[in-house]
Each structure stands twice: as structure tokens, then as C-alpha cells.
Chains A and B, each alone.
Chain A
Amino acid sequence: MKKLVALFLTLALTLTGVAALAEEFTVYLITMDLMDQHWVNVDAGAKAAVEELAKEGVKINYVWDAPTQGKNDAAQIESINNAFANNAQAILLASNGPDTQVATIEQYQKEGVKFIYVDSPANTEAFQTLATDNKAAGKLAGETMLNKLTEMGVAEGKIGIVNVNSSTTSTQLREEGFREAFKDTKFELLETQYGEGQVAASQTIAENYITQGVVGIFGCNEGSTTGTGNAIKESGKDVVGVGFDQSDAILQLVDGGALLATMAQNPYVMGYQGVLSAASILQGKEIVGDKNYDTGVTVVDKAYIAEKGLLTK
């Protein structure tokens, strides 16, 4: 009997020990939707970090969630509510509406949830922001388009902008940077049209721009860019299209010549570094890297695709 009790106690102790060693952190990634390849890449980076940390003995229960029916402020707040209800200790958030989530975020911060922004910050303090410097990247996009137009001998004309909506900070900043690049030129930048990041809606907008006789169109995110590229391809006109983000569809449009270039962000880095920082904070340590971490952009044009073999993979 004694032996049995001893055995039982040993077993219990071992189990408690194992449980203590394998302390699990729950980390959520909440993006604007679950469809854009951009978010899929953030998720891939996050997953890679989770796997690496697991090898070091840091167990993370990682969950990726987002609104199910396209970009929607109210739905994203519910995603945050659900994450809290599911005992999330850290949340990597790509904020859809920077003002809308402030009250929710501050409420849960009081309850001890650690927030880190990826891609798009909300308008309240968090541990870290991992994002593209959108204004600089937008300006780079504008300069890329301007160089091509100059090379083509075009010095004036209308330019259209396809944006997501008026409340997404990241795409607003890109537009601001883009407009800045054309400040001292004769080009007329038309009123921005919003396609909610949807390909079909963006394509219609781009088609209308082409009908108006534009010389260039700028797409501010993945959906806008795909729509713009499709419209230019279909029209067969000599319109310079420059976009944002990277997906197979966009790469093919660039490779086929419908788009001049796309500004590829580094979503993988956002997810990867974000999870590393989250794990570090949850263990009572500092964040990894700068508080404002610029993940940078790459100008992906036809030559770059060929050089890196992006489409042959």
C-alpha cells in the first residue's frame, strides 16, 4: 500500500513538474480578414516563430482569427472580445479602424492582456508596433511611377488612386506619400476612390479611371492592386499601374506587364518578430527589437521577379 501511495505521489509530482515546465502562453493574431495573402504571410511568420520557441521549451498556444466577412470594424472588435474570452494573454493586432478599438484595447490592457500591433496600429499605446513605414513606401511607389512616366516621355495627365476606405491608417499614409511624390509635377491626381480592399469593386473603380483617360493608377493594398492590374490588362491601354503587396495574382500581373511594380511588404517579419516579442514580454522580459519596428518594403518589378525566381517556385 505504501509503495502504491509513493508511486502515486511521485507520479503526481512529476506531472506537476512537467506541467510547470510546459507552461503555455496563449497568443492571438487578429488580422483584418483571413483571406488576403498578406495576412497569410503574417500568419506564416508567426507560426515559424512559435515552432522555434517550442524547440527552446517555450510553449505557445497560437490562434489566428479575424472577421469572417471582409473588413469590418464591429466584427474585428468581436474578434478581440472572443480572444479575451478565450484567455488570450497577448494579442498581435492589425487594426482595421485605429479609433474604433481604443476602448476595447484599453479595457483588456487593464485586465493584463499584452497588445502588439502588426501592420496597422490603433490609436493607443501598445508594447510594440511592427509595420511598414507606409508614408515612405507610398512615396517610393509614387517615385517609381513618376520615373517610368518620365522615361515614357509623359509629363502631364491624370492619375487615379484606388484606396481601401477612409479609416484605415496604413493605406491612408501610403496615399499621402504617393501624392507627395507628385507634388511639384504637372500631373493631376484625381479624387481617391474606395474599394474596401475588394478586387471586384477596385477593378470597377480602375476601369472608370481608365475611361477617364488616366496615365497611371495606384492601388493601395492587395485587393486594390489586383483590381487595378486586372482592369489595365483588360483595357490593353498604356496605363502605368503601381501597387502594394505581393500575391501570386499580383506577381503574374507584374510579370505580364499589366503592372509596372508592386511594393512588397514583409508581412512574414511582422508575424515572426511579433510572436518573439510577445513570448518575451510574457516571460517578463523586454520586447525584441525597436518599439517602432520598420519592416520595410521591396520594389518588385519584372526584373526582380526574374532575378529571385518568384514565379518559378
Chain B
Amino acid sequence: MTDSVKKRNWFQRLFAVRGMGQVITVFFGLIALCVVFYLINPNFLSQRNVANLLRQIAPYLIIGIGQGYVLITGNIDLSIGSVIGMSTMISATLMTRGMDPWLATLVTMVPCLLTGLLNGFLVSACRLPPFIGTLGTMTIARGVAQLVNGNMNTDAIGRTAEGWRDFLYYGRTLGIYNTFWIALVIWLIFNFLLSRTRTGRHVYAIGSNVEASKLSGVNVNMTTIKAYLISAFCAGVVGLITCAQAGMGAMDAGTGYELFAVAASVIGGISTLGGQGILLGTVMGASVWGAMYNGLSLVGAPVAWRNIVVGIIVVLSVLIDVLVRSGTFNKARIRALFSKKI
């Protein structure tokens, strides 16, 4: 490190991290959002709702981490929602048949991780377009979710699972619901893996330029598989949380979550084109997503408007990022944009 780098203050160092610009922009957006909701309904920032909100954000954050890895490698994982459903149904079915909740948790993770392995294999070794490959596993995993209990939602998982349900959803530690702490631990681990290890650097490398990383000795197939495994792991965990929340397995659990995960990622500045973004962005993205739905509910916004507003926020946040990065806000560029002859 040169002296000039050392002399930068903390603020400059913060901005020097790649991808931090978007994260900070979204952070201020989030603050603004919270202020608006607070002004309309002060209960938005009450102790009750903050605890509630942190718990609502947690699942989006967890699947956002998984989808974030996959997006950074330049792929996409559409199977997340179905893996959630599969995880919920398998764990609930096992528990209703009398298996110990913790053992059921371990057993459940096996098919989830296998789905991740299959995704990675199809996309890397078999060269299937990620959209198609994971669309297939999405449908298969949903089928498995329907199959495990004979196309029926399960019964209640019973009193023996109460400790397990508290650990994942209903219990609190230091006044905050456990679900949030679980999300935080998962984030710390995978953020470390992505930003401080060789695997993390490989994830960015293959997302930026597959050919170049191959030539420099990166095992593209293995890295892709790892990313999909992480995504499947995250989805599996959210499936367990969903099961703990409901106390039973529902076959349609997690429907549409793969796109919530994409939203959490892209709002936080992770590019769908690969190679860009940091997991701190996912924290912001998931927070915006959770705060939007919670806040719009608390201020009593009509249902149609809730979906419209959330959609607009997703588009805007990505649009601003794209425009800033391509330098469109430069005066000359704007002039050029409008004077272009078609």
C-alpha cells in the first residue's frame, strides 16, 4: 500500500470499495422511505414494528444473498421459490411423522443442496442457459414439494417442534426476533466468503469475463456449482423458517420468491449481467423491499397501488444505477441523446 492510500479518510476509503456508490444511494433512499412512512403513520418506527420489520426483511435478505452469488457469476437461479416450498414440505412431513426437528432439518437440506448441485451442473457443465436450466429445476422442485405428502399440505408439526419453531421464528434474543439474527449470521459468513477469499474472487472473475478467467486457471464449472449450492442452501433455510412460521407445510410456500431475491439484489446494486455488486447492497435491497411492503400496509395503501409502487421502485433504482454508470447524467450525453437522428 502506498502512503497516499493510507492517508485517505474513512469516508474516502468507504467510497473506494467497488459497488459502494449504489449501496450508499439506496441507503439514503431507504432513510427517506422510512421518514415518509413515519410521517404518515408514527407506528412505523414503533418498537413493535421495528422488531416486526426486521423479521420480515430476514427471509428476503437470506435468499437475496444466494441469488446475489448466482447473479454475480452472471447467471440466475429461478428455482429458489420452489426449493423453499420443497424444504418446507419435506421438513414438515418428516416432523409430522415423528422425526426430531433438528434431524429433520439436516435431512431436509440434502435434497435442497442436491437441487443446487443439479442447477450448477446443468448451467456449467451442460451449458444450458441458466434461465432454462433453473426453470426446469424450479418445476421439478415444486413437483417434489407436492409429492412428499401425497399432494396435500401437511398437518400441524406438533408440540415437540415448539422449541424449533421458537428458534427459527417466534423466539427473541436481545429483544429482536431470532429470524433476524439467523439472517445476520448467514450474511456475515457469505459476505466474508465473497469479499475475502479466493472463491469470492473467482465468483467475480467468471461473472466479468468467463474466457479470461478460464485462461487464468479459474475452475469455472466448480465456481458456478458453488454459487448455486449457496443459493440452494439459502433457499432451504428460508423454507425451514417458513415451516417454523406456519407450523405446517404448505405446497405453495415460496411461490415467486426467486423474483423477490432478484429484486433485493438489483435494488442493492448487484448487476444481473454479472461481475458487479456487493452483499452489503443485498442488505439495503432486502430492507427496501421489506420496508415497502410493511410500510404500505401500515399506511393503508390500496392493494393495487402497493404492487405498482414496489414495481416502480425496482425499475427506478436499477435505472438510476445504469444511467449513472453509463455517464448519461453528463450534460453532453443528454444533449446527444435527444439530438440523435434515428
Chain A residue at minimum C-beta to C-beta distance from B165: A103
Give complex CA distance A34, B303 in Å. Answer: 7
Asked if B36 is an interface residue, CB under 8 A from chain A, the answer is no
Give complex CA distance A22, B266 in Å. Answer: 47
Chain B residue at minimum C-beta to C-beta distance from A63: B300
Q: Which of B152, B253, B303 is within 8 Å of A68, CB to CB? A: B303
- Tally B residues with Cβ within 8 Å of A: 35
Chain A residue at minimum C-beta to C-beta distance from B152: A166
Q: Which of A78, A86, A165 is within 8 Å of B56, CB to CB? A: A78
Per-residue CB proximity of B229-256 to A under 8 Å, as 1/0?
0000000000000100111101011011
Give complex CA distance A35, B307 in Å. Answer: 14
Per-residue CB proximity of A13-36 to B under 8 Å, as 1/0?
000000000000000000000110
Q: Which of B53, B248, B250, B300 is within 8 Å of A65, CB to CB? A: B300
Do residues B253 and A74 form an inter-chain contact, with CB atoms below 8 A? yes
- Tally A residues with Cβ within 8 Å of B: 29
Q: Which of B52, B248, B255 is within 8 Å of A82, CB to CB? A: B52
Give complex CA distance A167, B302 in Å. Answer: 27
Question: In the assembled complex, how far is the CB of residue B168 from the closest CB belonging to chain A, in whole angstroms?
Answer: 12
Question: In the assembled complex, how far is the CB of residue A285 from the closest CB belonging to chain B, in whole angstroms?
Answer: 27
Do residues B52 and A81 form an inter-chain contact, with CB atoms below 8 A? yes
Do residues A68 and B293 form an inter-chain contact, with CB atoms below 8 A? yes
Asked if B18 is an interface residue, CB under 8 A from chain A, the answer is no
Asked if A72 is an interface residue, CB under 8 A from chain B, the answer is yes
Chain A residue at minimum C-beta to C-beta distance from B157: A99
Q: Which of A86, A97, A165 is within 8 Å of B246, CB to CB? A: A97
Asked if B199 is an interface residue, CB under 8 A from chain A, the answer is no
Give complex CA distance A81, B303 in Å. Answer: 17
Q: Which of A34, A86, A166 is within 8 Å of B41, CB to CB? A: A86
Q: Which residues of B contact A (CB under 8 A)?
A: 41, 43, 46, 48-49, 51-53, 55-56, 152-153, 155-156, 165, 170, 242, 245-248, 250, 252-253, 255-256, 293-294, 297-298, 300, 302-303, 306-307
Given contacts A85-B294, A99-B155, A167-B250, 17 further A-B contacts (CB under 8 A): A65-B297, A66-B303, A68-B306, A73-B250, A74-B246, A81-B52, A82-B49, A82-B297, A82-B298, A85-B52, A86-B41, A97-B246, A99-B156, A100-B248, A103-B247, A107-B170, A165-B252
